[in-house]
Amino acid sequence: MNKKLLIPPLVLSFWVLMVGCGFVVTGAAVGAGVYTYMDGQLQRSYQAPFDQTNQACMATLQSLKIAIIEESSDGLNTTIKAQRTDGTPITIQTAMIEPKITEVSVRSGVVGVWDKKVSELIHASIAQRLQQ
């Protein structure tokens, strides 16, 4: 096999590892509803403006009776810290990728004791609110 043919895929693979696969997956994941689960964070991109997505996140937490502890935003990124009735922490982070594409990361639980099912439930509720 020609060694020159191996170099571009190796370089691309290295670049993906350095930059992170979330950047590469974002475009395809927006319409398909694909989740990325890494280090306890369940991420998905939505075809919705940043402010509308943040409103859907807040409404989701309120409807699930999850107490909002803190919210901070710089206009491009928002972090919402919340707590379930059993004391489990929830963190939702949103980031504007493009004017009408927002990435949402949901983490439920503490390091090493993440609850993927709760994160999936929160994402499902956010997605439903954004479709209305």
Q: Residue 104 pairs with which residues in a beta bridge? A: 44, 94
- Residue 21 domain-assigned? no
- As for how many domains the chain has, the answer is 1
Query: Domain limits at 103?
Result: 27-131
- Residue 5 domain-assigned? no
Q: Over the stretch 35-49, which tens digit does the pLDDT of each residue have?
A: 788 888 999 999 999
Q: Over the stretch 62-101, which tens digit does the pLDDT of each residue have?
A: 999 999 999 999 999 999 999 999 999 999 999 999 999 9
Confidence of residue 8 (pLDDT cuts 50, 70, 90): low
Q: What is the pLDDT of residue 114?
A: 84
- Residue 15 domain-assigned? no
- Residue 12 domain-assigned? no
- Residue 87 domain-assigned? yes
What three-state secondary structure class fits 95?
strand
Tell me the average pLDDT of the chain. 82
Q: Return the closest-CA partner of residue 60 out of 26, 109, 22, 108.
A: 108
3-state DSSP percent of the chain in helix, strand and coil, to 5:
45, 35, 20
- Residue 4 domain-assigned? no
Q: What is the pLDDT of residue 19?
A: 47
Q: What is the pLDDT of residue 33?
A: 62
CATH number at residue 69: 3.30.310.80
